[in-house]
Structure 1
Amino acid sequence: MHMSRGARTVITAACATFLLATSACGTDQPEEPVTTPVRLYGTDGNMLNTYPAELGDRAGLVDGMKGTTPLTPLPDAFKNRLRTVNPQLTDFLYSAEAYDAVLISALAAELAGTTDPAAIARQIVGVTNRGVRCENAKDCLAAARSGRDVEYRSVSMTRAGFTDAGEPATASYATLHFDGQQLNDAKTEFVGAGDESAASTKAPPKPKPGAAGADGPLVLGGLLPKTGDLALAYPPLGAGAALAIKEINAAGGVLGEPVKWIDGDDGTNPAVAKATVAEHVQAGVHVIIGAGASGISRAVLPDVVSAGLVLFSPSNTDASLTELDDDGLYFRTSPPDSLQGRALADVILRDGPQKVAIVARRDSYGEGLQNTVRTELERAGLGADRVKLLTYDPPEDAKANPVNFTDGAKQIKDFGAEAVLIIGFSESAAVIRALADAGVQIRQ
């Protein structure tokens, strides 16, 4: 039907007046409120190919999610070696760091000439600095047996060694992208962080090659998350440790004997981890590899120190652990979150959100990284009124009720966030479900 310009003008004017009383001209249905599309971001605890399964039949909600994790470009040769101990491996997060924690411990014992934990601890930082450079178990152990200091370099440690505090001076971070329900390796980007000048310049004790079998075999005990909220990260951690043990023993072991590994679970739970530490003490373990989560290491460290053992984590990132009173017995191959926070803030800011919500599990890892990212966002010009912080209590164990984030999801919707960063482990899937249930439009 043809309508004259004048008639259209009259109707348009009537609509403009009537809009004050109704949601739209020509309908009596209320107009749907406009919702701000939200992009999801994650961290190393949930940027895994196994994570979408935690969402069950809503796994597609992760499509488009981005995040960062401590990760260096892993050569195919290293991945293939990992698959010799776990052919089903699909994720590689912290696998290189676990491998390195075990091999550095073995080299430190060989250089110390003893399995005494205190003597091993005094060699660990030096193993990564100012010696004969070597990059594999066979060559490094041969150098140590001949009484030469070594400078260990590997897949996860390429630019610099440890600081005086016993952690990496430099790091590499990967930006990961979920396409559908899988991480798209083709979109992965790597960025370096840290300062090579922060590496320790202190000379370690002189090598003391020991008599074969003088102290018995070096015994390492696992304290990794076989169960609990971080269990989805166990396969690469376990594979990295197992591969290192395999290659160390193929190269002749330590102090003339094969290294012994005693498995152990941290349960992503302080009570479970403390029980495992007690078992390791009774079993004569010298170095404990773990824990998986920063909060678990914080909880068990007093027990480990009291027993005079070494605690060496491949995956702790809580920045505050650097300052712990550890009697020089705590080390980590993963970098502190003071470095990751900058990389993560940069990933978020690239997409230009004006309002950001940061949701974190209520523990030292979650709240520590949350505060670091907030500081970096504010430093970049995002005002404090445009950054909203929320936390949740993670379940105490597998029998506990799942996370209820209903109120937090409503707060995020009312805040009008354009970006939501979720800092957590497998339990954080409840946050994503709550956002969707609250009507938050997740951008994909």
Structure 2
Amino acid sequence: MLRTRTSRAALSMACAALLLATSACGSDEPEETPATQVRLYGTDGNMLNSYATELKDRADLVNGMKGTTPLTPLAESFKERLLAVDPKLGDFLYSAESYDAVVISALAAQLAGSTAPAEIAEQIVGVTTGGERCDEVAACLQLARAGRDIEYRGVSLTRAGFTDNGEPATASYGTMHFDNQKIDDSKTEFVGAGEESGASTKTPPRGRKLRDGKAKDAPLVLGGLLPKTGDLALAYPPLAAGAALALREVNAAGGVLGEPVKWIEGDDGTNPEVAKATVASHVTKGVQVIIGAGGSGISRAVLPDVVAAGRILFSPSNTDAGLSAVEDKGLYFRTAPPDSLQGRALADVMLRDGPRKIAILARKDSYGEGLQENVRSELEKAGIGADRIKLLTYEPPADPKTPVDFTGTAKEIKAFGPEALLLIGFAESAPAITALDDAGVDIKR
């Protein structure tokens, strides 16, 4: 806003009358009011310690950034076991979900008495609902070998089991804060979402007790479809560590169907073509259950191939709410909760700070646009008018080495003048923060 001009005499009298000692007194030059400070918010794709390193020598720009991620309070013993797998682990995001995806797959195969994907799939939801409750791998496997119906409660799956669609009925979210260029664990708060009544009540097929404990089609072979490379590679270490830990503990407890479970590495590249090639390779190698993909959009791209091959796709980190109704012939599952739940948590985090204008910049894919729409809907329900919410998207780079140019987007955000900016994306979204800084946006820290 610009101040109107007036005479020096009038201005001097006004300044004297108001006892204002400002630099404007005695000057007839127009002056702009200070720019609105913008607080940054993030989601599960960027609320990681590794995200700050993407900004290099300007990593301090993330200080004060808040966000949410599917996160269950992790026991120190679980963290210690993960660190025994990967001593360099800096984050635990989706490690619990990855661990549980592998364990549930193993238990379902044991109850099915077979490694046939269709038979395993019929047991997966039932492993998490009804039956005799167990929360340790060895104890659960012992019950499954006896053909007993079980209700697995693991590291991420703590309150309720899966819905009929094969996803968690409830979720826990962590509200996280960046401070000193890293997530400050002491500030993390946890909030629950979802309803326990949403868990499936269907009775699964009766578990098989094998006479000699072995199955003719053993061993169970799992294949990784995790983001070793690409925009989501920063989330790979905890995902990989969770899967590796589960595999280690399942095999230490005697394996499945009388043999150790096998694992075949595989990269989804955060790229549909890379992921499709990995799926094709897994199919030729006899993989029955594919653990992944990392990103929701990648799972959408490969799911038709997985279904056509009669395999199971079990993701620990897909959150696109639209995947709840995807055509999968009963072969798609996830331990990560849908973004319909995270949208509420994110909106609540932002509204606590009282912003009146909010911009949401999202990666242009099913994950980004889906979560953007969920948050927008929740903000409007809370009374934020549509004219006070600005939605923007960006195309993910085809080549991770080519950064997205956010220059124009930063100018558009500055012109809108929001008090809050939500970034929905992966590592490639980091340059948006430096672009805002370059455009003169006052980032609140």
- Give the structure-1-normalised TM-score: 0.95
Aligned counterpart, 1:378:
380
Residues 194-218 of structure 1: CA deviation (Å, up to 9, x unaligned) = 0000000000001113451411210
Q: In 2, Cα distance between the equivalents of 1:190 and 1:420?
A: 22
Q: Does 1:315 align with 2:325?
A: no
Whether contact under 8 Å (2:11, 2:26) holds in the other structure is no
Q: In 2, Cα distance between the equivalents of 1:31 and 1:385?
A: 27
Whether contact under 8 Å (1:74, 1:155) holds in the other structure is yes
Aligned counterpart, 1:345:
347
The partner residue of 1:264 within 249, 262, 266 is 266
Aligned counterpart, 1:247:
249
Question: Structure 1 residue 258: deviation in Å?
Answer: 0.2
Q: Does 1:282 align with 2:284?
A: yes
Matched pairs, number: 431
Residues 334-392 of structure 1: CA deviation (Å, up to 9, x unaligned) = 00000000000000000000000000000000000000000000000000000000000
Residues 241-297 of structure 1: CA deviation (Å, up to 9, x unaligned) = 000000000000000000000000000000100000000001000000000000000
Q: In 1, Cα distance between the equivalents of 2:249 and 2:52?
A: 33
Residues 14-50 of structure 1: CA deviation (Å, up to 9, x unaligned) = 779xxxxxx9344587645521000000000000011
Q: In 2, Cα distance between the equivalents of 1:287 and 1:159?
A: 25
Q: Does 1:409 align with 2:410?
A: yes
Residues 295-327 of structure 1: CA deviation (Å, up to 9, x unaligned) = 000000000000000000000000000000000
> Residue 63 of structure 2 aligns to which amino acid in structure 1?
D
> Residue 338 of structure 2 aligns to which amino acid in structure 1?
P
Aligned counterpart, 2:47:
47
Which range moves more in the overlay, 313-322 or 84-93? 84-93
Aligned counterpart, 1:301:
303
Whether contact under 8 Å (2:296, 2:367) holds in the other structure is yes
Going from structure 1 to structure 2, the CA distance change for 1:14 and 1:107 (only over 3 Å counts) comes to closer
Q: In 2, Cα distance between the equivalents of 1:49 and 1:75?
A: 19
Gaps in structure 2 of 5+ consecutive residues: 1-7, 17-22
Aligned counterpart, 2:338:
336
Q: In 2, Cα distance between the equivalents of 1:333 and 1:284?
A: 23
Gaps in structure 1 of 5+ consecutive residues: 1-7, 17-22
What RMSD over aligned residues (CA atoms) do the two structures have, in Å? 1.7
Whether contact under 8 Å (1:269, 1:397) holds in the other structure is no
- Give the structure-2-normalised TM-score: 0.94
SS in 1 for 2:172: strand
Question: Structure 1 residue 407: deviation in Å?
Answer: 1.3
Whether contact under 8 Å (2:218, 2:259) holds in the other structure is yes
SS in 2 for 1:267: coil
Question: Structure 1 residue 180: deviation in Å?
Answer: 1.7
Match runs of 1:33-432 below 5 Å = 33-210=33-210, 211-399=213-401, 401-432=402-433
Aligned counterpart, 1:437:
438
Q: In 2, Cα distance between the equivalents of 1:274 and 1:11?
A: 71
Going from structure 1 to structure 2, the CA distance change for 1:28 and 1:295 (only over 3 Å counts) comes to same
